[in-house]
């Protein structure tokens, strides 16, 4: 344990408290780079960040007001609750996630008007906090259920967690902003510790989230008590401390203590938030056993319970993981928030234990879940990310919240609207997941045009720029912008989808060019880099077929196409005249996917099935016509041309 | 419209009111035979009926008392509700379904003790009825929600429907029993008509059921008003009269008027009960258009939204139909009640419009859904009937109600316990679905050892016995037990699973034997039958592979085995030492299923899959070993040897 109390705020080694990032362990193998140390310079992700700032963040603010979820705080301050309270029990959390997104945004790019709006929201929240620090618009007032009386479904601690994360983001992005948000969070956190300590309520929240948030708050404030409370929450869960429910206690991971579980299960967002909190606790406590347990759970979950998109959760009923290899495309839930939560978990493991596999999954999930959710204007979202759309959906009303998580087209808002602000806070802090430093160098985990400037433990200042058209093209060129006195290592991830890549080092001084073949995993170049040195990684990005594990029933006899980490889909709007539905074609498995002008094509045949009175017959009644080529769409771009049917996995029979 | 009012109770043609059966249309192409006209004489279904009477009915009575659902009526009578009310909002209906089961049972076999228990329950219900006829323990008292204030979820009319059906069963089985049950039902039905008429609440119940029950009550009482109210309910639904819910109004079929729908959708029990009620209305009103709409919906539902077991409903979330061809084995809901409701719908269509296809589906559903639900002792039940069990379940506690519909082993009772009493009332009246008469003869729809005695419209008395070991063997011998003066037709269904069958007629008088080949559908023998004449139908019952429609994703590249209408499954307890899970074998598609000693075998190979870090790879990593034979289990007998994994569809790759 290296945290100290408030009086010793400078104890963190190497000024980690100055890092403007969502996750800053006190000690870790890799050190995150904050907003400001790495800047995205155009390209796929910078574009999404721009749309997030210009479109999504104002859009969320609009809906929070319109739905009255911000107004709930005003009513709390005015003492008029519960009358007129709007939204579900967790609606406060959406306000906090909005604040977190804005805090990261302001950390990258000061904006007076946005700053003023941020402060105005904080003031409204402050007015709603009760004298003892309690803050939640849904519980505890006359006419409301008592505080902490609904741990299974009340989301009080969950909301508190998002409050803490917003305060952490603000404190890291604009230290000393003096808007009162950190104090609000600290007062609530103190109350949580007073209430849920060893002498208090020995239970947990039905939705994990406060665990990771308490650790972050401990890191920012140096308050050890918050970490200890997080540890208590992590260790308590799994012992049946919550009431059983229809879907079983696995829904909120209260079925098996975290140290005994082999795989993630139950509600996919809850499972990943819990795992993230546990990873944070393990990191702060140097708990190698817990770290190892989490790695095993992560590995088993990726090997058996994850979609090709990186998405997780195959049950609509409980928004949960199914059993091993239960991964139906058409009923994929793959909630956007679960993808975000999975990135959070993978990232924490990566910081503790450098392994390219974690960054591989982050990349896959970023491209195929996080980037899929928002519409091009950032004002409509997928909540669930199906891999197979059977029936063209109706266009969502841009002026109406969708009652359904499984809206077939992106919707502007949801009655349960966790995903839009979760996308916003993720994209607003996105660069913090792209690179790290260590004592001996910097590591590039994700590839995008960027400039990077940081200082290593040895005092060496390192600057570089990444020049690439990735993911459209596979060449990544790193140009060094600093002169080193000592050797350091430029770490590069060779993604698992690249069988073999080419690494070229061209010294600026005209020295010998070094060329070598590298295999998936972590690679690197160690030298006393000089300004102008270039390191080029050439990744093979030709489109390829993927075969599924034969234990996955829904996609047996089917192939998917990926190009890099981007997964492709066949969308019915790309079918020729006369073929209305993706169900009416089968893939020609003897063909190969091809690329032309940045587009990817496959060869398919139209299939005709004799309509039978009963669809199970002693002989198969399907016929196919002549093959033809059809364009695929990048999955993250699907459903942008109106209602359509779509499938990622293309049947060969 | 042929019903008349109370004063004209004898108007029904040919004494249909004397028929002791659940469905007795005033006019129909086929006339049901009641309990008493056809008697099962041993064999598969008589055994199930015996277990139902000896095991299930007392078991249900025990649980209704134990759970306090019967006690709710006592509390209502004592005026102590809502305090102490037990069970969900529809718990009253389970008591009524229990009464219906007992009424049919008493109709077959008088039993003084059972009769006394029946009357005692009726007395407790009578005491709970309010002065204006209202009867429901969940609504309307101080401290409860007002009557009819929760049409979406309150199930008040649903409960009323089951009350009516119990009263109808009693009146038909023991006319003039004078226990007051019919009067209770009539008073409640009058209140329903007063409340929901054209001048009243212009809405419907969130769970269809009262529609078919009102028609039956009209048939029994001759009260036209009940039929008119049923018609109003059927026609109103589909116009968005209920509040929208997260899963959409299709959940309770309030999305599309019944005359405009192409296929069944939403909650599968609700959909089939509604369709049954609509079929009843169409029948009484001679509404050929509605009849035709229902036929189309039935056909489309069977062709695209029904499992090979006859089960319906592929979503756990809303217990509902999925989209066309969305039929995953592992997430099959296939609720027992949905199977029963589907039989009710098919039966009504068959009475109106003789078509062997309806009886084909009834047969399939009886063997693979209704017979699958109860345990051999009739004291535990499947609620959902999955086609693929991935993980061996834990043994259900015989002394505890299961909170989950999807219990992996049969459970003694459920918090939502609609299925056990639904099985009980179905088995108690089962023979009424086996044969019919018409003006010109009798029709055998299902085959079982039985004796049959009825009178045709022309006054001819017809008696016969069915001698068969079906479904174990395929020979069905009908021996005529009456001497006819005029010709009549013995109708026989040749099931759709029989490509071709052999029909042999051997006159008792030594006349020429007639032998002919018959094809699936309805066939018959017309003659002036004499006592001792025999008609033999030989059905081919060798086990066969079934191929799925290629549009069903979850079973692509897989085959199932059926023998007659019985579907088989591979259960892990039948695998050789060293192979623990059905997921570890693949079917050899070049082999054929074989039969030996009444058991069915297939040839499979053990499959080994390289465990990958991520289950989607550029090359497939599966290997198979030498082939071996393995026994399959009849699906309705699975999970009777302890926890196991199981699958009906066997992958070939």
For B369-424, what is each residue's pLDDT tens digit?
Answer: 999 999 999 999 999 999 999 999 877 777 888 765 555 689 999 989 999 999 99
Please check the confidence at residue B2 and state whether its pLDDT lies above 60.
no
Whether residue B236 sits in one domain with residue B127? yes
What is the average per-residue pLDDT within B143-171? 98
Measure in Å the smallest separation between the Cα of B417 and chain A Cα atoms. Answer: 14
Please check the confidence at residue A13 and state whether its pLDDT lies above 60.
no
Partner-chain residue, chosen from B560, B586, B653, that has the shortest CB–CB distance to A616: B560
Please check the confidence at residue A607 and state whether its pLDDT lies above 80.
yes
Residue A402 is predicted with a pLDDT of 79
The answer to the question of residue B1 being in a domain is: no
Residue of B614, B618, B650, B652 to mutate, interface with A, max A Cβ within 10 Å:
B614
Question: Two tokens at A556?
Answer: 């047996």
Residue A12 is predicted with a pLDDT of 36
Measured in whole angstroms, how far is the alpha carbon of residue A175 from the centre of its chain?
25
Question: Two tokens at B138?
Answer: 């969940």
Q: pLDDT of A70-100, one tens digit each?
A: 999 999 999 999 999 999 999 999 999 999 9
Residue A397 is predicted with a pLDDT of 79
| CATH code for the domain of B288 | 1.50.10
| Whole-complex ipTM | 0.92
**DSSP element (H, E) containing A562:** strand A558-563
Question: Two tokens at B544?
Answer: 């066969």
Whether residue A585 sits in one domain with residue A636? yes
- Per CB-CB distance under 8 Å, the chain B contacts of A556 are 556-558, 651, 653
Those residues with Cβ within 8 angstroms of residue A80's Cβ, 6 or more apart along the chain or in another chain? none
Those residues with Cβ within 8 angstroms of residue A550's Cβ, 6 or more apart along the chain or in another chain? A556, B586, B607, B609, B620, B622, B651, B653
Measure the CA–CA gap between A423 and A42, rounded to whole angstroms. Answer: 19
Please check the confidence at residue A307 and state whether its pLDDT lies above 50.
yes
Those residues with Cβ within 8 angstroms of residue B357's Cβ, 6 or more apart along the chain or in another chain? A613, B302, B496
Q: Taking the CB of residue B6, how many other CB atoms lie within 10 A of it?
A: 10
- Per CB-CB distance under 8 Å, the chain A contacts of B303 are 611-615
End-of-domain residue from the set B538, B569, B595? B538
Which among A269, A268, A265 is positioned nearest to A254, based on CA atoms?
A265
Residues in chain B: 653
Q: pLDDT of B423-435, one tens digit each?
A: 999 999 999 999 9
| CATH code for the domain of A507 | 2.60.40
Please check the confidence at residue A398 and state whether its pLDDT lies above 90.
no
Measured in whole angstroms, how far is the alpha carbon of residue B165 from the centre of its chain?
15
- Per CB-CB distance under 8 Å, the chain B contacts of A322 are 330-331
Whether residue B425 sits in one domain with residue B377? yes
Please check the confidence at residue A327 and state whether its pLDDT lies above 80.
yes
Measure in Å the smallest separation between the Cα of B51 and chain A Cα atoms. Answer: 30
Q: pLDDT of B232-278, one tens digit each?
A: 999 999 999 999 998 899 999 999 999 999 999 999 999 999 999 99
Which among B180, B73, B175 is positioned nearest to B130, based on CA atoms?
B73
Average the pLDDT over each of A608-617, B205-214, B239-248 and give the range with the smallest value: A608-617
**pLDDT top residue among A578 and A407:** A578
Partner-chain residue, chosen from A403, A615, A621, that has the shortest CB–CB distance to B246: A403
Q: Which range marks the domain in which residue A572 is found?
A: 544-651
Whether residue A579 sits in one domain with residue A567? yes
- Residue with tokens 């970023």, as numbered in its chain: A366
The answer to the question of residue B89 being in a domain is: yes
Residue B404 is predicted with a pLDDT of 57
Partner-chain residue, chosen from B248, B545, B615, that has the shortest CB–CB distance to A618: B545
Residue A603 is predicted with a pLDDT of 98
Measure in Å the smallest separation between the Cα of B111 and chain A Cα atoms. Answer: 39
Please check the confidence at residue B493 and state whether its pLDDT lies above 50.
yes
| CATH code for the domain of A354 | 1.50.10.20
**pLDDT top residue among B493 and A18:** B493
Count of domains for chain B: 3
Partner-chain residue, chosen from A306, A403, A550, that has the shortest CB–CB distance to B244: A403
End-of-domain residue from the set B470, B504, B538? B538
Whether residue A513 sits in one domain with residue A424? no
Angle at B74 between CA B71 and CA B78, to 5 degrees: 140
Please check the confidence at residue A8 and state whether its pLDDT lies above 60.
no
What is the average per-residue pLDDT within A433-443? 96
Partner-chain residue, chosen from A304, A391, A586, that has the shortest CB–CB distance to B615: A304
What is the average per-residue pLDDT within A428-454? 97
What is the average per-residue pLDDT within B467-483? 97
**Global pTM?**
0.94
What is the average per-residue pLDDT within A120-143? 98
Q: Which residues pair with B628 in a beta bridge?
A: B604
Whether residue A351 sits in one domain with residue A441? no
Residue B7 is predicted with a pLDDT of 35
What is the average per-residue pLDDT within A508-533? 96
The answer to the question of residue B55 being in a domain is: yes
The answer to the question of residue A194 being in a domain is: yes
The answer to the question of residue B174 being in a domain is: yes
Residue B14 is predicted with a pLDDT of 56
Task: Name the band, by pLDDT with cuts 50, 70 and 90, for residue A3.
Answer: very low
Measure the CA–CA gap between B572 and B639, rounded to whole angstroms. Answer: 10
Whether residue A306 sits in one domain with residue A192? yes
- Per CB-CB distance under 8 Å, the chain B contacts of A619 are 547
Whether residue B419 sits in one domain with residue B491? no
- Per CB-CB distance under 8 Å, the chain B contacts of A553 are 328-330, 388, 554-555, 651
Average the pLDDT over each of A149-158, A235-244, A619-628, B195-204 and give the range with the smallest value: A619-628
Say if residue A82 is preceded by a cis peptide, omega within 30 of 0: yes
Q: Taking the CB of residue A289, how many other CB atoms lie within 10 A of it?
A: 9
Measure the CA–CA gap between A201 and A147, rounded to whole angstroms. Answer: 12
Whether residue A534 sits in one domain with residue A562? no
Whether residue B455 sits in one domain with residue B361? no
Q: pLDDT of A29-50, one tens digit each?
A: 999 998 889 999 999 999 999 9
**DSSP element (H, E) containing A10:** none
Give the CA distances from residue B330 to residues A322, B316, B325, in Å, rounded to whole numbers and listed in that order: 10, 11, 14
- Per CB-CB distance under 8 Å, the chain B contacts of A247 are 404
Whether residue A280 sits in one domain with residue A181? yes
Which among A408, A82, A441 is positioned nearest to B323, based on CA atoms?
A408
Residue B325 is predicted with a pLDDT of 96
Please check the confidence at residue B439 and state whether its pLDDT lies above 80.
yes
**pLDDT top residue among B12 and A257:** A257
Please check the confidence at residue B88 and state whether its pLDDT lies above 80.
yes
Measure in Å the smallest separation between the Cα of B560 and chain A Cα atoms. Answer: 9
Measure the CA–CA gap between B77 and A437, rounded to whole angstroms. Answer: 75
Task: Name the band, by pLDDT with cuts 50, 70 and 90, for residue A405.
Answer: low
The answer to the question of residue A1 being in a domain is: no
The answer to the question of residue A329 being in a domain is: yes
Under 8 Å between Cβ of B530 and B484: yes
End-of-domain residue from the set B495, B512, B538? B538
Measure the CA–CA gap between B212 and B207, rounded to whole angstroms. Answer: 12
Whether residue A511 sits in one domain with residue A372? no
Please check the confidence at residue A60 and state whether its pLDDT lies above 60.
yes
Please check the confidence at residue A429 and state whether its pLDDT lies above 90.
yes
Measure in Å the smallest separation between the Cα of B447 and chain A Cα atoms. Answer: 21
Q: Number of Cβ pairs closer than 8 Å across A and B?
A: 181
- The most confident of the ranges A390-394, A397-401, B643-647 is B643-647
The answer to the question of residue A8 being in a domain is: no
């Amino acid at each position: 344990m290296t945290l100290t109390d408030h009086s010793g705020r400078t104890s963190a080694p190497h000024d980690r408290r100055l890092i403007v990032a969502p996750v800053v362990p006190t000690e870790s193998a890799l050190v995150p780079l904050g907003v400001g140390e790495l800047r995205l310079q155009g390209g796929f992700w910078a574009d999404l960040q721009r749309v997030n700032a210009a479109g999504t963040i104002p859009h969320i603010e609009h809906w929070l007001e319109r739905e009255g979820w911000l107004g709930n705080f005003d009513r709390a301050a005015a003492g008029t609750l519960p009358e007129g309270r709007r939204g579900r029990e967790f609606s406060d959390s959406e306000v906090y996630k909005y604040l977190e997104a804005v805090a990261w945004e302001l950390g990258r790019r000061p904006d007076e008007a946005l700053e003023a709006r941020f402060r105005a929201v904080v003031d409204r929240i402050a007015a709603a906090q009760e004298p003892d620090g309690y803050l939640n618009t849904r519980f505890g007032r006359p006419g409301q259920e008592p505080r902490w009386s609904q741990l299974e479904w009340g989301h009080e601690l969950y909301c508190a967690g998002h409050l803490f994360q917003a305060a952490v983001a603000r404190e890291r992005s604009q230290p000393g902003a003096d808007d009162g948000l950190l104090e609000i969070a600290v007062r609530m956190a103190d109350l949580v510790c007073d209430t849920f300590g060893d002498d208090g309520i020995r239970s947990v929240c039905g939705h994990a989230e406060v665990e990771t948030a308490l650790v972050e708050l401990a890191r920012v404030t140096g308050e050890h008590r918050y970490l200890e409370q997080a540890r208590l929450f992590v260790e308590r869960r799994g012992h049946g401390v919550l009431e059983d429910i229809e879907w079983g206690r696995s829904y909120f991971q209260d079925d098996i203590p975290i140290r005994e579980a082999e795989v993630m299960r139950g509600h996919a967002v809850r499972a990943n938030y819990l795992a993230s909190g546990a990873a944070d606790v393990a990191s702060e406590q140097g708990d190698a056993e817990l770290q190892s347990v989490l790695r095993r759970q992560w590995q088993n979950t990726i090997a058996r319970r994850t979609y090709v998109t990186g998405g997780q959760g195959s049950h609509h009923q409980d928004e949960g993981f199914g059993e091993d290899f239960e991964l139906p495309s058409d009923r994929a839930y793959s909630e956007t928030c679960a993808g975000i939560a999975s990135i959070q978990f993978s990232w924490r493991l990566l910081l503790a234990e450098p392994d390219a596999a974690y960054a591989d999954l982050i990349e896959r999930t970023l491209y195929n879940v996080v980037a899929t959710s928002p519409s091009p204007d950032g004002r409509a979202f997928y909540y669930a990310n199906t891999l197979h759309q059977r029936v063209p959906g109706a266009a969502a009303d841009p002026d109406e919240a969708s009652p359904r998580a499984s809206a077939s087209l992106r919707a502007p808002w949801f009655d349960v609207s966790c995903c839009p602000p979760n996308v916003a806070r993720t994209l607003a802090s996105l660069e913090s997941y792209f690179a790290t430093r260590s004592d001996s160098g910097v590591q590039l985990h994700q590839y995008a045009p960027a400039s990077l400037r940081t200082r290593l433990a040895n005092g060496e200042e390192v600057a570089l720029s990444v020049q690439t058209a990735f993911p459209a093209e596979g060449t990544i060129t790193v140009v060094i912008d600093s002169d080193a006195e000592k050797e350091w290592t430029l770490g590069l991830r060779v993604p698992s989808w690249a069988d073999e890549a080419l690494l070229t080092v061209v010294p600026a001084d005209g020295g010998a060019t070094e060329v070598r073949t590298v295999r998936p995993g972590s690679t690197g170049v160690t030298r006393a880099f000089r300004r102008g040195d270039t390191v080029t990684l050439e990744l093979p990005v030709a489109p390829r077929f993927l075969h599924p594990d034969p234990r996955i029933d829904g996609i047996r006899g089917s192939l998917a196409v990926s190009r890099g980490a981007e997964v492709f889909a066949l969308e019915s709007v790309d079918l020729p005249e006369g073929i209305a539905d993706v169900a009416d074609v089968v893939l020609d498995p003897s063909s190969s996917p091809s690329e032309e002008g940045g587009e990817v094509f496959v060869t398919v045949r139209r299939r005709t099935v004799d309509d039978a009175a009963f669809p199970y017959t002693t002989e198969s009644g399907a016929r196919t016509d002549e093959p033809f080529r059809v364009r695929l769409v990048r999955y993250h771009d699907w459903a942008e041309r109106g209602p359509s049917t779509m499938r990622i996995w293309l049947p060969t029979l």
